[in-house]
Structure 1
Amino acid sequence: MKVMNDVPSLYVASATERSIGKTALCLGLALLFKEHGLKVGYFKPLGWHTETKEGKPIDSDTVLMKETLRLEEPLDTLTPVLLEYHYLDQYSPEDSKDLLDKISRAYEEVSANKDIVVVEALHEPCLGASLNLSAAKLAKTFSSQILLLSSTHQDRAVDEILSESACISREGSKCCGAIFSRVRDHIERRIKERMVPTLERYGIHVWGVIPESTVLTAPTVKEIVGVLGGEVLCGEDYLSNQVEHYLVGAMTHEAAIRYFRRAKRKAVVTGGDRPDIALAALETDTSAVILTGNLYPNVRVLAKAEEKGVPVILVPYDTYTTVNKVRDVTGRITVGDVKRINEAKRIVSEHVQWKGLLEALGIKI
């Protein structure tokens, strides 16, 4: 089914399974496009059933985009197909035509009267191939150009981007370039001096190298509590504190003070039977104290934490289990999270050649 609306669209996909930051990029681009007078649509043809609202499965990224961009279309139009973890139990290759028709009708509605549509892939371009609904195939249906995002900062990222670009071309779609995201200071120079020129030689333009932003990546105490299922003993007004480091306290009070001073905006994990460690943490830049083993702390700890504005969280796990549960938690942009929404817009504005991207799509502002 050929989409009739001749609206430029940018299809943002991850270059690898490990790549992170796709939704933040889509949001930042869409906000900038809208700010400069363009009528912007958003579409995620395949989504994940990440949560349930009013008895209906929804994709949380789609909810974020709908609310932030103030889109009129209903959620099931913005994301017409929601996949479960075992999606081959939901659909088979025989369903492909019906699913494509459903997606195409939804895209027609989303793109109507728009200047540009930002299309977000489920993840890397190959996902959905078993249903004949890979990003490369869908991009051809929408006449979209695919932008690849990589947060892999090793040399293999070049090969991964080239491989995905070749796959996109074989499907008859076009890769308009790539962006590197979450780049740490120590690797930025190598990406710009080695990896970018190599990709350019193969005709892959790199539109931006986005540095890591702890505003986006560092989880809040509230997000950590959600993962641990812990009890907030005090400091409920400070659950928006962000956590950039995790430190384990299992030493003397004097050694703990020196140790804790090394890191700012940290969560300190220790036993509830170690009030000396908790109090030492509270004398330094600490975002939260996590007490393990369901051991309630000394009242002095809670009083000091209240004074400092530091949440104290009680969890049933041992220290090792607790650290393993939280170490890979990253921040997520959610509806109404003004700080992170503004940060997504800022980093795209400052580190992505977004006006050049528009020109590549045939749009001048």
Structure 2
Amino acid sequence: PPDESMNIIETEHDIDTICPVSITPNYYIDNIDIEQRTEYTEKIKKAYEKIKQDCDMVIIEGTPNFRYYCRVGLDDVTIAKELGIDGIYFILDVSTDNFVDTLLFTKKYLDFREMKINGLIMNQIDFDYVERVKELQKKHIEKYDIPLVGIIQKDPSLSEPTVLEIMEGIGAELINNPPDESMNKNVKSILVGAMDVTSAMKYVRQSVSAACITGGDRSELILATLESNVSVIILTGYIQPDIS
């Protein structure tokens, strides 16, 4: 089936063009020589040239850290220079004052590599830390001549899939006919029903909008869980429960 993320970003390019090179985290230092590095770099450049033909702007996501793949010459800064890019946007997801240290360290490194920070984006920031970021912006960030492009507050719903999304993700089959609104319920936690009913129900009652995973032969636990506030019960083992 087509990759759903391709629909989200609305592109006609296939995944091999969007991500032309994939490097495993282990043994790449031994496996990537100068010839392989050149091949990977050319693949990335070719994909970039193809994508940018019909785009006003191309966003290139880097690795989780500037250090990654530095030893083999495939780190973010090296690739950016190969593509003719002279500035980047730095994204941080830290809700402590330590982000200022990280920003300063990164700026010094990028200055050394002759790469400009076009802007800072604070991502997944805790609600109670947003004002602190604004305060530090005036006292510290502006001193480094780095624009604060935006602050994206942490949204718990992004990590709370719906029942329908879980069902589609694991290829599950419905064994009852719930109302449509039940399929749109969010799942906020996961419970594994491996205990006896009495012990398991202590956790079930304390949870809110949970997905309970248990064997299809655990009829007593299934019946007890149906009377609770769980969003969905996921049965394993390809066993249909006997709840007669």
Instruction: Go from structure 1 to structure 2 and tell me whether the alpha carbon gap of 1:106 and 1:236 turns closer, same or farther (over 3 Å shift).
Output: farther
1:157 to 88, 99, 109: 99
C-alpha distance in 2, partners of 1:298/1:153?
49
1:14-93 to structure 2, matched below 5 A, reads 64-65=5-6, 67-86=7-26, 87-88=28-29, 90-93=31-34
Matched AA of 2:38: K
CA contact (8 A) 1:145 1:174 kept: yes
Instruction: Go from structure 1 to structure 2 and tell me whether the alpha carbon gap of 1:284 and 1:96 turns closer, same or farther (over 3 Å shift).
Output: same
Normalised to the residue count of structure 2, the TM-score between the two structures is 0.71
1:117 to 58, 68, 71: 58
Q: How big is the shift at 1:232?
A: 5.5
2:232 to 288, 293, 300: 288
CA contact (8 A) 1:151 1:181 kept: yes
C-alpha distance in 2, partners of 1:236/1:148?
47
C-alpha distance in 1, partners of 2:171/2:10?
34
Instruction: Go from structure 1 to structure 2 and tell me whether the alpha carbon gap of 1:166 and 1:268 turns closer, same or farther (over 3 Å shift).
Output: same
What does residue 168 of structure 1 align with? Answer: 110
Q: Which residues of structure 1 form unaligned runs of 5+? A: 1-52, 55-59, 301-365
Give 3-state SS (helix, strand or coil) of 2:22's partner.
strand
Q: Which has the higher strand share?
A: 1
C-alpha distance in 2, partners of 1:252/1:158?
49
Greater C-alpha radius of gyration: 2
What does residue 243 of structure 2 align with? Answer: 299
C-alpha distance in 2, partners of 1:126/1:191?
25
Instruction: Go from structure 1 to structure 2 and tell me whether the alpha carbon gap of 1:278 and 1:174 turns closer, same or farther (over 3 Å shift).
Output: same
C-alpha distance in 2, partners of 1:164/1:207?
17
What does residue 190 of structure 1 align with? Answer: 132
What does residue 218 of structure 1 align with? Answer: 160
Q: How big is the shift at 1:162?
A: 2.5
The Cα offsets for residues 180-233 of structure 1, whole Å up to 9 and x where unpaired, read as: 222233333433334774333333332222122233222345776799x79767
C-alpha distance in 2, partners of 1:171/1:236?
60
1:105 to 41, 46, 54: 46
What does residue 76 of structure 2 align with? Answer: 135
The Cα offsets for residues 45-72 of structure 1, whole Å up to 9 and x where unpaired, read as: xxxxxxxx89xxxxx6xx724x444434
Instruction: Go from structure 1 to structure 2 and tell me whether the alpha carbon gap of 1:119 and 1:144 turns closer, same or farther (over 3 Å shift).
Output: farther
The Cα offsets for residues 128-171 of structure 1, whole Å up to 9 and x where unpaired, read as: 32221211122233325311222222222222233223322222
Give 3-state SS (helix, strand or coil) of 2:64's partner.
coil
2:36 to 95, 103, 113: 95
CA contact (8 A) 1:95 1:131 kept: no
Aligned CA RMSD, in angstroms, stands at 4.0
Per chain length, whose mean CA-contact separation is higher, i.e. which structure has more relative contact order (CA < 8 Å, sep 6+)?
1
C-alpha distance in 1, partners of 2:8/2:100?
33
1:236-315 to structure 2, matched below 5 A, reads 241-247=185-191, 252=198, 256=202, 260=205, 263-268=207-212, 273=218, 275=220, 278-290=222-234, 297=241, 299=243
